[in-house]
Amino acid sequence: MAYLWIIIAGVCWGLIGIFTKAITKFGFTEMEMLFIKGIVSAIFLFVLLFVKDKKSFRLKKKGDLFYFVGTGILSFTFFSWCYLKAINMISIGVAAVLLYTAPTIVMLLSIILFKEKMTKRKGVVLLMTLCGCALVTGVFGGRIMITPLGLLAGMGSAIGYALYSIFGTFALRREYNSLTISFYTFLLASVFMSFCVNPIHVVQKITEKGQWPLNIVFAVMTTVVPYLCYTKGLSKLPASKASVTATIEPVVAAILGIVVFKESITVSKIGGILLVVGAVVLMNMGKMPEAVEIEETLETREEQ
């Protein structure tokens, strides 16, 4: 089930392109779209937590707020902004490949922070994942021009993307549930982004253009659902495995591009899809390693 949660998250993230193209036509800027996603997600999760369990709003220690600054500002906001900037500076294919170097970053940080072991299988999986993403996005299909700022933005998106797994794991070890982590992530992200845009102007623009339904569905399907699912899966998986499994996202984006936007089906895309799916399967094959500390803690609590 943990892998299923991660895969659902990846599929939802793969829908971002469709919604982004639709909303951009109405004149919304990149930061305005991020603000909409953040605030709608925070309100949705507030209502859900209020109805389900009011105690989940409580922070165990004031210092724990740092973890949510990490997931909300250093990860969600920074990653999203860098990724959109990278797409505008360099090709979307290169931006996507740079973004999906995130599993490598997560794996390396997990070895340092969580004492995870680096195995030959993980090395092969990482290589398959990176090559698969490159093939799916068509990087090998033509000449690529990368500007220094574009490269910096692309690597920034990967680092920000990777940080969610790291800060999310720390928050889970403090025994916060996925709803609480997701709520504070988007709450702090929204507060931060409110200083980057004019909230009143954004609300007026949505109202004037009658785009509330589209923006709400956009936020729920590409933010609320995937982050809840990813955090749920992360509570039962090492950060490195969760990050690699989520790379199903570019595969979904490629398939949607073929079906919805009538993009051509190439040998490169088919090969990339097979490599990414193969990497996920390889990660799950054979005898599972010893459970990570967070999983043991959660299982012990359930037994008690």
pLDDT number for residue 291: 37
In this predicted structure, the answer to whether residue 141 has a pLDDT above a threshold of 70 is no
Confidence bin at 212 (pLDDT 50/70/90): confident
Determine, yes or no, domain membership for 298.
Answer: no
pLDDT number for residue 294: 40
Model confidence, pTM: 0.73
Determine, yes or no, domain membership for 197.
Answer: yes
In this predicted structure, the answer to whether residue 215 has a pLDDT above a threshold of 50 is yes
Confidence bin at 222 (pLDDT 50/70/90): confident
Query: Beta-carbon neighbour count of residue 296 at 10 Å?
Result: 11
Stretch among 33-47, 94-108, 186-200 having the lowest mean pLDDT: 94-108
Is residue 34 within 8 A of residue 77, CB to CB? The reply is yes
Average pLDDT rounded to a whole number, residues 102-111: 77
Average pLDDT rounded to a whole number, residues 176-190: 89
Torsion of CA 284, 287, 291, 292, to 10 degrees: -60
Average pLDDT rounded to a whole number, residues 275-288: 69
Determine, yes or no, domain membership for 291.
Answer: no
Q: Residues of the chain with pLDDT > 70: what percent?
A: 86
Give 234-268 pLDDT, tens digit per residue. 888 877 777 777 777 777 777 777 777 676 677 87
Which one, of 159, 167, 175, 180, lies nearest residue 79 by Cα? Answer: 159
Determine, yes or no, domain membership for 294.
Answer: no
Q: Residues of the chain with pLDDT > 90: what percent?
A: 10
Domain count, the chain: 1
Specify whether the backbone of 280 is left (phi greater than 0), alpha (psi in -120 to 50) or beta: alpha
Query: Beta-carbon neighbour count of residue 145 at 10 Å?
Result: 8
The tokens for 282 are 């390889």
In this predicted structure, the answer to whether residue 90 has a pLDDT above a threshold of 80 is no
Confidence bin at 93 (pLDDT 50/70/90): low
Determine, yes or no, domain membership for 304.
Answer: no
Torsion of CA 24, 26, 31, 37, to 10 degrees: -90
- Structural domain containing residue 248: 2-285
Confidence bin at 125 (pLDDT 50/70/90): confident
Which one, of 84, 103, 45, lies nearest residue 223 by Cα? Answer: 45
pLDDT number for residue 189: 93
Query: Greater confidence, 35 or 83?
Result: 35
Is residue 87 within 8 A of residue 17, CB to CB? The reply is no
Confidence bin at 107 (pLDDT 50/70/90): confident
Confidence bin at 143 (pLDDT 50/70/90): low
Helices assigned H by DSSP within the chain: 2-13, 16-24, 30-52, 65-69, 78-89, 92-99, 102-113, 120-136, 148-173, 178-193, 199-209, 212-219, 225-234, 239-245, 248-259, 267-284, 293-303
Three-state secondary structure call for residue 147? coil
Determine, yes or no, domain membership for 300.
Answer: no
Determine, yes or no, domain membership for 296.
Answer: no
Which one, of 65, 72, 127, lies nearest residue 100 by Cα? Answer: 127
Instruction: Give the contacts of 43 (CB within 8 A, at least 6 positions apart).
Output: none
Determine, yes or no, domain membership for 71.
Answer: yes
Mean pLDDT over all residues of the chain? 80
Is residue 121 within 8 A of residue 74, CB to CB? The reply is no
